[in-house]
Amino acid sequence: MAKIRIPTPLRAFTDGEASIEVAGGTVGEALSNLVEQHPDLRAHLFNDSELRSFVNIFLDDEDIRFMQGLDTEIADDDNLRIIPSIAGGNPPRSPQSMGGKPLISEEA
Amino acid sequence: MAFLFYGESHQGKNMVIHISHELQREIAEQLEATYPNEGGGFLLGQGAADQMQIVDIVQVDNVFAEAEQHHRYAMRPQDWMRLEDLADERGLSLVGYYHSHPDSSAVPSEYDREHALPNFVYIITAVMMARANDMRAWQLRADRSAFAELALENHLQPQRRGADSAQDA
């Protein structure tokens, strides 16, 4: 069976396992099998049935988005890897935030 | 002088983040240098459910469109792969990442929440007028609803006001 490498923060949902063997002939089937084995992963990988925008799946060193996406065919000895795209951002700036004073959220 | 603020981790326990004054200073200097754009990097460390020791930091380039870098930060997926492998080689874990909020608070935005993972430490540094003046640590709740603030010994700012789970719009 193919293997999927799990990123460190999500290993809490795979009983600490870094690599999970999965069944399936395509990347999509393999991911479905993964979340069947470890259902708590689903919310962090999928938004409804779509992969979350910051979740990347690599087959060897290639992003499946540049292949056939979830329909990309895989073989039994293939190695998949889940790689998050780290992203962050500032809240919209307000006139107050430009005043040079420390801005700590009052709702905090 | 140091202040500790406590939040609830996904396990329902208070997690404490230990990070040296030197590493905090290194983060601050990097993020002051990238001002007015956002900067960031990865946190390598070791820890259990309630204690996390940050052992090293690795700066990573902001690859978001340059015109948006004043309020957006992104890394290449390949950076994650490289750093996760590096952490494994060193017997460490990729435990979190840090980034700046130029001219804003060290509180996660909605954009941060949408792009976050649980069980990962998010250190946010407020950089006001090119000076890092606040550093706070957060962790996404397991249900993805909000961030909880973690205890962090903040060496950057001697005084600040209250803290708990929160996020900006």
Q: Strand A55-59 relative to strand A62-63: parallel, antiparallel, unpaired?
A: antiparallel
Q: What pLDDT, on a 0 to 100 scale, did the predictor assign at position B10?
A: 40
Backbone angles phi, psi at A88, to 5 degrees: -155, 170
Backbone angles phi, psi at B27, to 5 degrees: -60, -50
Chain B residue with CA closest to A87: the answer is B74
Q: Which two tokens stand for residue A101?
A: 């004073």
Domain boundaries of chain A, sorted by first residue: 2-84
Domains for chain B: give ranges and CATH numbers.
16-152 (3.40.140.10)
Q: Which of B110, B119, B162 sits opposite A9 (nearest CB)?
A: B119
Burial of B168 (0-12, 13-18, 19+ CB in 10 A): buried
Average pLDDT over residues B72-77: 85
Q: Which two tokens stand for residue A44?
A: 């962090």
Higher-confidence residue: A91 or B87? B87
Q: What pLDDT, on a 0 to 100 scale, did the predictor assign at position A78?
A: 96
Nearest to A41 by CA among A26, A55, A53: A55
Which one of B58, B111, B115, B141 would you mutate to disrupt binding with A, by most A Cβ within 10 Å of its Cβ?
Answer: B115
Q: Give the SS3 label for residue B163.
A: coil
Q: Cβ separation of B38 and A12 shorter than 8 Å?
A: no
Least confident of A98-102, B56-60, B72-76, B147-151: A98-102
Asked whether B162 and B136 are in contact (CB, 8 A), the reply is no
Total Cβ atoms within 10 A of residue B108: 27
CB contacts of B161 in chain A (<8 Å) are 104, 108
Q: What is the DSSP string of A65-95?
A: GGTTGGG-B--TT-EEEEEE--EEEPPPP-T
Q: What pLDDT, on a 0 to 100 scale, did the predictor assign at position B14?
A: 67
Which one of B3, B114, B140, B150 would you mutate to disrupt binding with A, by most A Cβ within 10 Å of its Cβ?
Answer: B114
Asked whether B35 and B73 are in contact (CB, 8 A), the reply is no
Chain A residue with CA closest to B98: the answer is A88
Q: Which two tokens stand for residue A26?
A: 């395509």
pLDDT category at B75 given cuts 50, 70, 90 is: confident
Q: What pLDDT, on a 0 to 100 scale, did the predictor assign at position B93?
A: 92
Q: What pLDDT, on a 0 to 100 scale, did the predictor assign at position A50?
A: 87
Chain B residue with CA closest to A62: the answer is B78
Q: Which two tokens stand for residue B13?
A: 């326990």
* B120 CB within 8 Å of a chain A CB: yes
Q: Which two tokens stand for residue A27?
A: 């990347």
Nearest to B44 by CA among B65, B62, B64, B27: B27
ipTM greater than 0.85: no
Q: Which CATH code of 3.40.50.800, 2.40.30.60, 3.40.50.1480, 3.10.20.30 fits the domain covering A2-84?
A: 3.10.20.30
Q: Cβ separation of B115 and A101 shorter than 8 Å?
A: no
Asked whether A108 and B166 are in contact (CB, 8 A), the reply is yes
Q: What is the pLDDT of residues A15-71, one digit of tens each?
A: 999 999 999 999 999 999 999 999 999 999 998 888 988 899 999 889 999 999 999
Q: What pLDDT, on a 0 to 100 scale, did the predictor assign at position A49?
A: 83
CA dist., res. A73 & res. A67, Å (int)? 10
Q: Which of A11, A85, A91 sits opposite B169 (nearest CB)?
A: A91
Q: Cβ separation of B161 and A84 shorter than 8 Å?
A: no
Which one of B111, B138, B165 would you mutate to disrupt binding with A, by most A Cβ within 10 Å of its Cβ?
Answer: B111
Least confident of A4-8, A80-84, B61-65: B61-65
Q: What is the pLDDT of residues B28-59, one digit of tens each?
A: 999 999 999 999 999 999 987 688 999 999 99
CA dist., res. B166 & res. B138, Å (int)? 9
Q: Give the type of residue at B74.
A: A
pLDDT category at B153 given cuts 50, 70, 90 is: confident
Q: Which residue has the tokens 């435990």?
A: B95
Q: Which of B80, B95, B106 sits opposite A84 (nearest CB)?
A: B80
* B80 CB within 8 Å of a chain A CB: yes
